[in-house]
Amino acid sequence: MSEALLTLHPYIKVALPVPMRTLFDYKVPKAIALRHELKPGMRVKVLFGKSSRLGVIVALSDTSDWDPEQVKPLTSLQDERPVITQELMALCEWAARYYHHPIGDVIFHALPVLLRKGENAEFRTENWWFTTPQGQQLPLEQLSRAPRQQDFLKAVQQHPHGLSQHAASVLDLAPAAGKTLEEKGLLRREPRSFNKGGEKHAHQTQVPPTLNPEQMHATEHLLDHRHEFNVALLDGVTGSGKTEVFLRVMARLIEEGKQVLVMVPEIGLTPQTLKRFEIRFNTDIVLMHSNMSDRERLDAWLLAASGHAKIIIGTRSAAFIPAPNLGMIVIDEEHDTSYKQHEGFRYHARDLAIKRAQALNIPVLLASATPSYESLTNGLQKRFAWLKLRQRAGNAHIPEMERVDLRGKTLVHGFSEQALANMTLCLERKEQVLIFLNRRGYAPTLMCHQCGWIAACDHCDVNLTVHKRANKLHCHHCDTQKALIHTCPECQSEELFTVGEGTEQIETQLSTLFKDVPILRIDRDSTQRKSAMAKLTQKIHEHDQAILIGTQMLAKGHHFPNVTLVIIMDADAGLFSSDFRGMERTAQLITQVAGRAGRAKKPGHVLLQTYHPDHAAIECLCNLGYEHFAIDGLAERKSLSLPPFYHQVIVRAESGNEHEAMQLLAAMRNDLEPLFSKDVYLVGPYAAIIVRKAGQHRALISIKSAHRVPLHQATQMMSDWLEQSTRQHRIRFAIDVDPLET
Ligand code: ADP
Ligand code: ZN
Ligand code: ZN
């Protein structure tokens, strides 16, 4: 590189994973500038204070706002090519502004963990075993006294194109035997770049079904608009063949050499989704979710970044995956709140994906049986194309929803007589029952019969949940665990009893009522281990007759063809929530769970146990369905000036001290409110619903406006104010743009 070019950008602006909302200037030493072409998106090592940190170059610059004497040189360059592409850098910068979050944290969030730690952005190499000419010809009997070597050589002889170390360990071949054979000159090893494509087996791809007219219409619309930015809301009842529609569109784009990103809410969904995609496409598919090891995630990231992977299936953080030929983003179950990150960098993967697609001029497809109120509004206002599927695909029918009035009834283990009778009949027909209870553990409360003592968390304002199987008391808010006790710590009485029931209790009790029926529980406790979910769903598919008990995990996207009865144990949960989104969530959950019934040829039936059978919401949902319910709900939101008609930002503060967070937010309001635009409305500060969590006292202030610009300005002022003020206090604050919880 010429001297002239060298002096062009003597400075770089670096993002560091620190909570400061700024970039840091460093000098480029000549020795580095001579040998490398620095670009935004490359990682560098720099000195920050006294410690060495990894950072990402955001910009090259001719000047620095700092005294040149004080600007330190960068220590070393980590990459030859950017790990954050230009496209993703722009997305990160947009997100940092929109969510008022420190840019360094955003950029580091966009990278896989190993790259954050400095790992090279290169495919790992793996050793492959090959026979030498002697090894290929050697008769195996000659090794009969060394059976391990014999097995090893035999396996490699059978793989003329080589056997990977990974395959050798799958085949249980002894590594020491391989080394001995190598020393004898019978085998040789060769490192090869890790690349899933090499191990792919050609398989029969499935013949897709003939689309029904609704599916056909949706598919044609999507195909017609597949080369430009647009958002389509594929709003189809559960089992209406939404997946089938986007598989068609994906197939076309993949034929055209494009990559498709499919976002799914939870890992629980991925085994089934992956299988379905694998059957359908003979192409490279990678998964990206939190249940993978850091190395596996980096491998998936590299396969996507190299353009090798044509289909990327991932959870929230996959919104940032690099894909040079990205042709479409699909967001399945778009209403799911797990797309929103609830701590740290509080972004919404759906909104981010839409922004990304807009910049790339590619389409976004949002699919759901219960679209979010935000997306429905966009559909109603014609910003999104609203594609409806109202028939179930094939011969399946929409299940019938029936309310079971619990008032004055005797319940057996929480079930009405009607529910138990229906369950018995269903099992006699060799079909499956799904029981929904959104409460894991054995019981939500442990109480003393003598003095009324209740087991509560020491760090949060909540009761501890009883987990009998694990013999523990567990706080579901801060994760504190204690041994289950049998004596009251207040009065030493041994008459402790549980109140209420969770999934674990229902499982235990039903196993005594239905002795020979397999009972499978699906909740966060039973699916903790890797692949546990895949094993459970496998079991469900193996049995004809079965009882499935689960929390909201069961409600999401699963396809259990033999489930014909769904029992919603407590339809009232969430009906009287203090959060204005409570009704939307309840309706989505009930509709999604109900949608698990009768997905194949057999008709489905849904029982909702309720103490409020005449409640307008429950009645509307059962008789008129989700869309009607949501449109009524939106009218109410509009009349109350609530989102999505008003935009909202919540500022959260927390402190170990009881009043500090509240006082700080009040002082902020006092200082800033006179400066805010008239279009901005403030509520609070007020205490969080659960004030104390993990020892922190939490307060919040809500700010809303019909217009983004004044809201954004006010938020910026609050952010600056808080950054100044919290330096002296031990208070943490967070800004939550478009919050989903209060
Ligand atoms: P959704 O994504 O809306 O829940 P799916 O696409 O999973 O629906 O379809 C539900 C079931 O119906 C699947 O087993 C699918 O293979 C089948 N299916 C989808 N479309 C058709 C069709 N046009 N004809 C017959 N079966 C279909
Ligand atoms: Zn007691
Ligand atoms: Zn706790």
Using one digit for the tens of pLDDT, what is the confidence trace for 412-427?
Answer: 888 999 999 999 999 9
What's the pLDDT score for residue 458? 92
User: Token digits for 683?
Assistant: 């509520």
What's the pLDDT score for residue 653? 92
Distance CA 348, CA 350 (A): 5
Q: How many CA atoms within 13 Å lie on the side-chain side of 685?
A: 23
What's the pLDDT score for residue 308? 87
What is the chain's alpha carbon radius of gyration, rounded to the nearest angstrom?
Answer: 29
Identify which of 244, 246, 269 to mutate to test ligand 1's pocket (most ligand atoms within 8 A of the CB): 244
What's the pLDDT score for residue 250? 95
Q: ipTM of the predicted structure? A: 0.96
How far out from the chain centre does Cα 731 lie? 29
What's the pLDDT score for residue 684? 87
Please give the number of the atom of ligand 1 that sits closest to the Cα of 210: 23
Q: Do 408 and 418 touch, CB atoms closer than 8 A?
A: no
Each residue's pLDDT tens digit, 229-277: 999 999 998 888 999 999 999 999 999 999 999 999 876 555 667 778 8
Residue 189 has pLDDT above 50, yes or no: yes
Nearest to 481 by CA among 455, 507, 499, 519: 455
Mean pLDDT value of segment 440-451: 94
Please give the number of the atom of ligand 1 that sits closest to the Cα of 212: 23
Query: Which helix (H) or strand (E) covers residue 606, if one does?
Result: strand 605-610
Distance CA 419, CA 513 (A): 13
Distance CA 235, CA 137 (A): 63
Q: Do 199 and 308 touch, CB atoms closer than 8 A?
A: no
Mean pLDDT value of segment 75-91: 94
Residue 577 has pLDDT above 80, yes or no: no
474 Cα to the center of ligand 3, angstroms: 8
Each residue's pLDDT tens digit, 85-94: 999 999 999 9
Amino acid of residue 669:
R
What's the pLDDT score for residue 607? 93
411 Cα to the center of ligand 1, angstroms: 37
Residue 537 has pLDDT above 70, yes or no: yes
Residue 709 has pLDDT above 90, yes or no: yes
pLDDT band at 728 (very low <50, low <70, confident <90, very high): low
What's the pLDDT score for residue 619? 87
Q: Which residues contact 79 (CB under 8 A, 6 or more apart)?
A: 42, 43, 121
What's the pLDDT score for residue 271? 64
Q: Which residues contact 496 (CB under 8 A, 6 or more apart)?
A: 446, 447, 448, 449, 485, 486, 487, 488
pLDDT band at 321 (very low <50, low <70, confident <90, very high): very high
CA nearest ligand 1 atom 19, residue: 241
pLDDT mean across residues, the chain: 88
Residue 300 has pLDDT above 50, yes or no: yes
Least confident of 64-73, 223-232, 343-352, 480-489: 64-73
Predicted TM-score (pTM) of this structure: 0.86
pLDDT band at 224 (very low <50, low <70, confident <90, very high): very high
For ligand 3, a single-atom ion, the residues with CB < 5 A are: 457, 459-460, 475, 477-478, 480
pLDDT band at 530 (very low <50, low <70, confident <90, very high): low
Quickly tell me which residue has 């499956």 as its tokens: 432
Q: Do 105 and 169 touch, CB atoms closer than 8 A?
A: no
Each residue's pLDDT tens digit, 554-573: 777 677 788 889 999 988 88
What's the pLDDT score for residue 291? 76
Distance CA 396, CA 303 (A): 38
Nearest to 549 by CA among 702, 436, 650: 436
What's the pLDDT score for residue 1? 45
3-state secondary structure of 189: strand
Quickly tell me which residue has 């008990």 as its tokens: 549
What's the pLDDT score for residue 198? 42
Most confident range, picked from 352-356, 440-444, 671-675: 352-356
Mean pLDDT value of segment 427-440: 91
Q: What interhelical angle do 147-157 and 175-183 show, nearest 10? A: 80
Each residue's pLDDT tens digit, 611-647: 999 988 888 888 888 999 999 999 999 999 999 999 9
**Cα torsion 167, 173, 179, 181: sign:** negative
For ligand 2, a single-atom ion, the residues with CB < 5 A are: 448, 450-451, 453, 488, 490-491, 493
Q: Do 101 and 346 touch, CB atoms closer than 8 A?
A: yes
Residue 200 has pLDDT above 60, yes or no: no
What percentage of the chain carries pLDDT values higher than 90? 56
pLDDT band at 4 (very low <50, low <70, confident <90, very high): very low
Q: Burial code of 564-600, b = ≥16 C-beta within 10 A, e = fewer? A: bbbbbbbbbbbbeeeeebbbbbbbbbbbbbbbbbbbb
**DSSP of 383-429:** SSEEEEE-S-STT--PPEEEEEE-TT---BTTB-HHHHHHHHHHHHT
Residue 209 has pLDDT above 70, yes or no: yes
State the DSSP code for 485. -
Residues touching ligand 1 (Cβ under 6 Å) are: 209-212, 215, 236, 238-244, 393-394, 559
Residue 595 has pLDDT above 90, yes or no: no
3-state secondary structure of 467: strand
462 Cα to the center of ligand 3, angstroms: 7
Beta bridge partners, 51, equal: 48
What percentage of the chain carries pLDDT values higher than 70? 94
Amino acid of residue 139:
P
Distance CA 498, CA 504 (A): 13
The backbone region for 613, taken as left when phi is positive above 0, alpha when psi lies in -120 to 50, beta otherwise, is alpha
Please give the number of the atom of ligand 1 that sits closest to the Cα of 245: 6
570 Cα to the center of ligand 2, angstroms: 29
What's the pLDDT score for residue 193? 67
Residue 104 has pLDDT above 50, yes or no: yes
Distance CA 84, CA 420 (A): 56
Amino acid of residue 316:
R
